[in-house]
Amino acid sequence: MHHENHDNHNHGSLKSYVIGFILSIVLTIIPLVLVMNHMLEKTALVITIMVMAILQFIVQLFFFMHIREGEKPRYNVQTLILGLVIVFTIVAGSIWIMTFNKY
């Protein structure tokens, strides 16, 4: 019988998951409270929400997706950068089209 050993991968500890979960909850509650209580002007609110979204993305990558762990973390980071470039291009292109497509 041939058994593959999948225990070689480091999937994080319970402590790591709990910290990531708590950070995710906090980074979700902050913009929610700001929006529900009308605590900031529109521009400041949008910037705060964007910053919280970026921080949430970073927390997800490091605490849940283990982007820096593994045998070849460089490939993970390169793949992530390519994905971010593609997402940025799509979002920026969509905003460009919606902004300048007035007739």
**In this structure, are residues 64 and 14 in contact, taking their beta carbons and an 8 Å threshold?**
no
Give the domain ranges of the chain: 7-69, 72-103
Q: Is the pTM of this model over 0.85?
A: no
Which tens digits make up the pLDDT trace of 19-46?
999 999 999 999 999 999 999 998 899 8
3-class DSSP state for residue 30? helix
CA atoms within 13 A on the CB side of 87: 6
Kindly tell me the sign of the dihedral angle through the C-alpha atoms of 64, 12, 32, 48.
negative
Which tens digits make up the pLDDT trace of 48-71?
988 998 889 888 888 887 776 666
**In this structure, are residues 10 and 69 in contact, taking their beta carbons and an 8 Å threshold?**
yes
Q: Which two structure tokens, joined as six digits, stand for 25?
A: 């909850």
